[in-house]
Amino acid sequence: MYARRYHSVTSSVVTSHLPSSAPPLEGPPAPRRRTVVLAAAATAALAPVAGPGASAARAADRAAEPAFLHGVASGDPLPDGVLLWTRVTPSAEAVPGSGLGPAVAVGWQVASDRAFSRVVASGTVTADAARDHTVKVDVRGLRPRTPYWYRFTAGAATSPTGRTLTTPGHDEAAAGVRFGVVSCANWESGYFSAYRHLAARGDLDAVLHLGDYVYEYASGGYPEAKYVVRPHEPRHEIVSLADYRTRHGRYKTDPDLQALHLAHPVVAIWDDHEFANDAWAGGAENHTPGAEGAWSARAAAAKQAYFEWMPVRASVAGTVYRRLRFGTLADLHLLDLRSFRSEQAEVGSGRVDDPERTITGRAQLDWLKSGLAASDATWKLVGTSVMISPVAFGSLPAHLLRPLAKLLGLPEGGIAVNVDQWDGYTDDRKELLGHLRDRSVRNTVFLTGDIHMAWANEVPVNMATYPGSGTAATEFVVTSVTSDNLDDILHVPADTASLAAEAAVRAANWHVKWLDMDAHGYGVLDVTAERAQMDYYVVSDKRRQDATAAWARSYRTANGTQTVERAHQPAR
């Protein structure tokens, strides 16, 4: 959310099952005949004639050979497997979204050591223009809670080597798991140094991306042109399949984003900007039917490009709601809050309480409820792209209320409803929280992004009677990687306006234990049998590529308490 704010999956996916008794495969596989033929054909078609200018021609020829320009990635780890991703550029004209370039055979290897002396799985898959030359390989037959290294080859080119990690065994009582947590990375607003700092950590099991991985706006649309740090590609608002592919390709050239994917498996869900601002099942605030075509075509294009370019397994009906398990310590339930939701109600409208309106859709809500009730894990983690905690606003001066309303989708008159979040779909929230209370589901922690602020909340069963009504869950919200927050919108130094706004929000919302409206950065969630703790880190300056990062605050919830308290140091 910002600025109030099915197409079948066509990415090439190959599933590899390697029996645990299979002998290790030593050394890189010999290139298959098709690989040699394609490479030879590409070389012959562009071979220079010897003579003056031959050196420049040879350079052009090398540029046309297969290359891995967009990095490698892994995602959705399992106890016995992981999804691997890359994108190959087979020739100079085969840029993302172009629809050009020959098919090319891509080899892949997984090894239990960085030197690839112990290769445990390998294979070959064809990348072609129909899938924007992306490759996805679902590798199985691996060992639980084990690091692996992987790489790809195409012709004479070899990709960077990525590292990934499988999850604990289904019934393993893991001592702890640790996640990086990020959200809202707008290319034009700054550099992705938060990703670089997470990439440098050697203690993460995975990185959870809670949405707005890419933004759809035209260059200069958000932020306005004079504040743009680096321009989007394409420059216009993305609408078509080629547009979405090009934008994803642009993002995947960022060195800090590549480093993040290289270092850790990423578990991602989408929010609205992977489509268009304030998307819902039948449209979006930032979509004009007619001028921008049918919403169904735009949404299908956005989903196709997302699944092509992200290390994510498609779930039910081509969506991203799914469940991952980290032994008996944690079940991670991941939500899709865009594909099935009703259109946002008008702010201040009583329609927010209409039981016919939904943010999850009936099937997904039933899936979530049953999964939470049936879970035998100590912790039930829920990845939600928008905040579930209710928010009311006290008296704020107009100069603060206006920009805050812009961030949260509120009217400047101050009516206390954010209609793009769960506040706009109160019946779904009431049903879910009532289910947690009635079924005595303990240790539910919502992990949230979207609003470019950091929060630590108790989720009240009934806000009107909190704290007497008790809490159903806790929620940790991470701030944005780069997307504008309150002081960015006002173009004032940090803490200039936000301190007054934070105090007013907390005064009206006792369940909000901490709130930071003006930092950018990331979170690190550390989970043990005793507690779940979110450490909040901030970057020094999103407009600098060399920005530093520092720990800011930590909050935790203890096993069985459903309450949030401050921790005075990050988890070790």
The domain limits of the chain are 12-161, 177-567
Quick one: tokens of 358?
């939904």
* Cα torsion 51, 57, 59, 65: sign: negative
8 A C-beta contact, residue 431 and residue 472: no
Tokens 């892949």 belong to which residue?
A: 108
8 A C-beta contact, residue 65 and residue 88: no
* Cα torsion 323, 111, 102, 92: sign: positive
Give the pLDDT of residue 471.
96
Distance CA 295, CA 498 (A): 37
Domains 12-161 and 177-567 share a fold: no
**CATH number belonging to domain 177-567:** 3.60.21.70
Give the pLDDT of residue 449.
97
0.85 surpassed by pTM: yes
Which residues of the chain carry a pLDDT beneath 70?
A: 1-64, 393-402, 404-417
Q: Please report which helix (H) or strand (E) contains residue 270, including its range.
A: none
Superfamily in which the 12-161 domain is placed by CATH? Purple acid phosphatase-like, N-terminal (2.60.40.380)
8 A C-beta contact, residue 147 and residue 82: no
| Helix, strand, or coil (residue 34) | helix
Give the pLDDT of residue 367.
98
Classify burial at 537, counting beta carbons within 10 Å of its beta carbon; exposed 0-12, middle 13-18, buried 19 or more: buried
The string of pLDDT tens digits covering residues 287-334 is: 999 999 999 999 999 999 999 999 999 887 789 999 999 999 999 999
Distance CA 387, CA 511 (A): 13
8 A C-beta contact, residue 513 and residue 566: yes
Quick one: tokens of 138?
């679902």
Return the ∠ at Cα 266 (arms to 265 and 272), rounded to 5°.
170
The Cβ of residue 362 has, within 10 Å, a number of other Cβ atoms equal to 10
The Cβ of residue 138 has, within 10 Å, a number of other Cβ atoms equal to 16
| Helix, strand, or coil (residue 401) | helix
The string of pLDDT tens digits covering residues 125-161 is: 999 999 999 999 999 999 999 999 999 999 999 999 9
The Cβ of residue 399 has, within 10 Å, a number of other Cβ atoms equal to 11
The Cβ of residue 309 has, within 10 Å, a number of other Cβ atoms equal to 27
8 A C-beta contact, residue 212 and residue 483: yes
- What backbone torsions phi and psi does residue 430 show, to the nearest 5 degrees? -60, -40
Distance CA 542, CA 518 (A): 12
In the chain, what percentage of residues exceed pLDDT 70? 85
- CA 11 vs CA 91, 93, 121, 177: distances in Å: 19, 20, 21, 30
Whether the upstream peptide bond of residue 31 has omega within 30° of 0, thus cis, is no
* Cα torsion 369, 371, 376, 378: sign: negative
Give the pLDDT of residue 415.
45
Give the pLDDT of residue 303.
98
